[in-house]
Amino acid sequence: MTRSQLFTWSARRVLSAHKQPSGGSREFWGWLNAVFNKVDYERIKAVGPDRAAAEWLLRCGAKVRFRGFDQAIDATESCIMYRGFDHLEGLEHVEEIGFNKCIYIEDACLEHLSQIKTLQDSLKNMTVVSCGNVTDKGIIALHHLSDLPGVKDKDQTVDRLQTALPRLTVELDLA
């Protein structure tokens, strides 16, 4: 056996003996996304909450409107998750947040977001669309964001809910 044949044979034996975890690449991306969401409190102290939050959001694939401070967050199809939500603490000027097709957004994220005092005071517009891990519990938690103007088209919202969920009884009192 030549050296390269011996190496190839040895490598195959080692690789075949090592079982690949189920989910393989999915687990890897989940791990990597968790790393992207890790909060670096020293970085927040060094550069301030607005820049640190913008860096986190961009690292996770979100977009930020930034003019000296964070004004709007578009997290469409980003990998932001609960683990990183401490980055939102101290943001005083965010008026808009959009979560669209965010697979890691869950009820706990919305609960945490709604408890951040500075966001309670500044947030004027929020969308949560196609975030499959958000339930009514997460939506209800948003009641702390009292400056949100409400549902734009109440009748259409009720119609869509009833069409999509025919067994759902919708009682809407937004007065």
pLDDT on residue 33: 82
pLDDT on residue 10: 57
Closest CA to 37 of 95, 109, 129: 109
- In the chain, the number of structural domains is 1
Count CA atoms within 13 Å of residue 66 on its CB side. Answer: 15
Q: Is residue 125 part of a domain?
A: yes
Whether 97 and 147 have beta carbons less than 8 Å apart is answered as no
Alpha-carbon gap, residue 170 to 134, rounded angstroms: 18
Q: Is residue 17 part of a domain?
A: no
Q: Is residue 105 part of a domain?
A: yes
The token duo for 44 is 């927040």
**CB-based burial of residue 80 (10 Å sphere; 0-12 exposed, 13-18 middle, 19+ buried)?**
buried
Q: Percent helix, strand, coil in the chain (nearest 5)?
A: 50, 10, 40
- Report how many helices (DSSP H) and strands (DSSP E) the chain contains, helices first: 8, 4
Q: What is the CATH number for 112? A: 3.80.10.10
Q: Is residue 2 part of a domain?
A: no
pLDDT on residue 18: 47
The token duo for 47 is 């550069």
Give pLDDT tens digits along the chain (175 positions): 666 565 555 555 555 554 555 556 778 777 788 889 999 999 999 999 999 999 999 999 999 998 878 899 999 999 999 999 999 999 999 999 999 999 999 999 999 999 999 999 999 999 999 999 998 888 888 888 877 776 666 777 777 777 777 777 776 666 5
Q: Is residue 18 part of a domain?
A: no
Q: Is residue 155 part of a domain?
A: no
Q: Is residue 1 part of a domain?
A: no
Longest Cα–Cα distance in the chain: 83
Domain around 54: 23-149
pLDDT on residue 129: 92
Alpha-carbon gap, residue 165 to 151, rounded angstroms: 19
